[in-house]
Structure 1
Amino acid sequence: MSHKTVLEKTYIGIAKVYVYDKEKVKGITKPKEKLLIEDLKCRIDYDTITGTEQGNLGQVYQQITLFCDPDIEIPPNSKIEVTQLGRTEIFKNSGKAAIYATHQEIVLSQNEVA
């Protein structure tokens, strides 16, 4: 069994990926959301990072990373809706993918809970 196949067994989420296209409405160009990928097997991982600033209390940051197949092309700044463990979350402004032989990792920005 390949490393890629083993990693794919950890994908417990399903994602929809949206990109923004341009649409002219009455002579005005507006951004329009367009579904690019549906039913993408994936996993999101939450990494909590605690930092301190001089003179302030510690602050907690959360980095959210999407793991999925490296053969799928997800453009930066995509909107990604992930359903994992019965909860759906919407992320905006996806980062540039880090591509590896077995998977890709994309840092996500929290948008809202659906």
Structure 2
Amino acid sequence: MVSLNMIGNIAGRLYRHKCDVIEMKSQKGEINNTMPVTVLENIPCRISFSSSPANSRGKEVSSTGQKARLFLAPDVNIKAGSRIIVSGEGFKTEYECAGTAAVYESHQEIDIILRKQFA
């Protein structure tokens, strides 16, 4: 019989990427009062992409949107709204946690969105 621990170990072997998690924390003496703080580093993960057709029609050109989902061990706690930097296989990309994680006994899944960079 396959145990949940074995399933978790198998899922962990699929984690080819690493991620860092950044949260905004209150800082005393700062004008803005919040600063980005790295709360987790080098967490094994896997990122998966899927495409979905856009729902808008009309004058705009129809396009496809890309969805990204992050897979992690179930014991990692990432808050909604956190910044997540995923790296591995020659890339490094910054995302935002789009909501609450779906946590299962063997893993968790978090919908993430590409973080917009402003000049």
TM-score category (smaller protein): 0.7 to 0.9
In 2, distance between residues paired with 1:53 and 1:89? Answer: 27
Decide which structure has greater strand share.
1
Structure 1 segments (4+ residues) deviating >6 Å: none
RMSD value, Cα: 2.0
8 Å contact 1:89–1:112 — kept in the other structure?
no
The reply on whether 1:18 has 2:28 as its aligned counterpart is no
Task: Count how many residue pairs are aligned between Structure 1 and Structure 2.
Answer: 112
- When structure 1 is superposed on structure 2, of 51-60 and 9-18 the one drifting more is 51-60
TM-score for both structures, normalised by structure 1? 0.86
Match of 1:6 in 2: 10
Gapped regions of structure 2 (runs ≥ 5): none
TM-score for both structures, normalised by structure 2? 0.83
SS at match of 1:25: coil
Match of 2:90 in 1: 86
Percentage of identical aligned residues: 24
SS at match of 2:79: coil
The reply on whether 1:100 has 2:104 as its aligned counterpart is yes
8 Å contact 1:47–1:64 — kept in the other structure?
yes
Match of 1:72 in 2: 76
Letter in 1 for 2:85: E
In 2, distance between residues paired with 1:51 and 1:112? Answer: 19
In 1, distance between residues paired with 2:109 and 2:20? Answer: 16
